[in-house]
Structures are given as C-alpha cells and as structure tokens.
Amino acid sequence: MPTTEKKEKPARTEGASARSGGKPRTVRVVKTSRVTATAKAGQAIKIPKVKEKKPVRTEGGEGRVVLRIRVRAYESKILDASVKQIMDTATRYDANIVGPVPLPTEIKKYTVNRASFIYKNTREQFEIRVHKRLIDIINPNPKTIEALTNLSLPSGVDIDVKML
C-alpha cells in the first residue's frame, strides 16, 4: 500500500511579504561617504571601515596650511592686475604659490522686451560676466598674511580667503 507523505511548507522568513512569494527581500542602504552596504531583512548590516585621511606632514612635523584666495571681478583686465599684485606681495615674503588658476567664467543672461505693446516679440539680451581666479599660498608665514591684509586692491574686485 502506498504511503502518503505530507510535505511541509517552509516557514516564512522575517520581512517576507505575501507579494514576494515568501522570499526574503533585500534592503539597500543609501550611499554615505562613499560606502554602500546591503543586507537581507532581519540581518545586521555590515559596513566596511573607512580610513580617515591624515593631514599631510612636512619636515617640521606640523600640518600643511593652505591659504586659498578666490578673486572675482567683472572685468578681466582689472582681475589680472589684482592677481599679479597679490602674487608679487606673496613672492616678496618667500611664500610658495600655486596659481593663478582660471576658474570658469560665470555668465548671467537677462532677456527683456524691447517694446511693451506692439513689438512684443522683439527682445533684447544682456549678460553679466564674472571672471574668477584661484590662488593657493602654501604654509604662509605671519608677515605674508599681514602684507596681504594691508593690500589695497581696485574697486570691483571681490576676494574670498580661506584657511585650509
């Protein structure tokens, strides 16, 4: 006489839904600081360790200090004259200089109607160009910083200085 065997259904795993047919779903973690991790539902997520960047060391044992100067102006000739003046001042005090690096010119375009009523389809375009340069001064001494703060530059030149 043939024997009848009962097949047991596998137990549903945690996190499985009726739509997925009882299969465990995969959970994906959003990318944070260049690390991605995946895990199945109900499992602990293992995130690989990320090494922290160490500051660059020089012979003196101190960290590298960079003075980053961004110069902006509407006219490129005035901008180049200002950059030359900054570089001359920095080289006078024996500073290591990287640059000037020309950054992309920012162009803002404005379109306006030529006339208000009949010739409404005719338009006029105006643009404002902002020229930019970047200068890095590596390991500046206090005399260099003082000379740069006392520097007199022409009007229309915007300067942003950051210590990195």
pLDDT digits (tens, 9 = 90+) for 3-21: 555 555 555 545 545 555 5
Q: pTM here?
A: 0.57
CATH class of 66-163: alpha beta
What are the residue boundaries of the structural domains of the chain, listed by start? 66-163
- Alpha carbon 119 to its chain centroid, in Å, reads 45
pLDDT digits (tens, 9 = 90+) for 139-150: 888 899 899 888
- Residue pair 68/100 in contact (Cβ under 8 Å)? The answer is no
